[in-house]
Amino acid sequence: RNSSTDVVVQVTTDPTRVAPKIVGTAFAPTSFSFIGQAVEVDQRFTLRIPVRVIASTRSVDGLLPGQKIRVTAKVLESKEKRVAALLIVSHRVEVMTPPSLWARSLAQIRLGLRNATGTGDAGALIPGMVIGDVSKQSVDFKNDMRRSGLTHLVAVSGANFAIVSAFVLWCMQFLFRSMRFRIIATAIALICFIALVRPSPSVLRAAAMAAVLLFAHGTRQGRDSLPALGFAIAAVVLLDPFQARDPGFALSVLATAGLLLFAPRIKPTILAAPIAAMVFCSPVIIALSGYISPMSVLANVLAAPAVTPITIVGFIAALIAPITPLGAQL
Helix (H, G, I), strand (E, B) or coil at 22: strand
| Integer Cα distance of 59 and 95 in angstroms | 9
Which pLDDT tens digit goes with each residue over 150-163?
A: 777 776 766 677 77
Question: What 3 state SS string does 302-318 have?
Answer: HHHHHHHHHHHHHHHHH
The whole-number average pLDDT for the span 86-101 is 87
Which pLDDT tens digit goes with each residue over 13-60?
A: 888 877 666 555 555 567 888 899 999 888 888 888 999 999 887 778
Which pLDDT tens digit goes with each residue over 253-301?
A: 888 888 788 887 877 776 777 777 778 877 887 777 666 677 777 887 7
Task: Compute the half-sphere exposure of residue 267: CA atoms within 13 Å on the CB side of its CA.
Answer: 0
What single letter denotes the amino acid at residue 169? L
Pick from 211, 193, 192: nearest CA to 260: 211
Which pLDDT tens digit goes with each residue over 171-183?
A: 888 888 887 788 8
Pick from 12, 9, 97: nearest CA to 47: 9
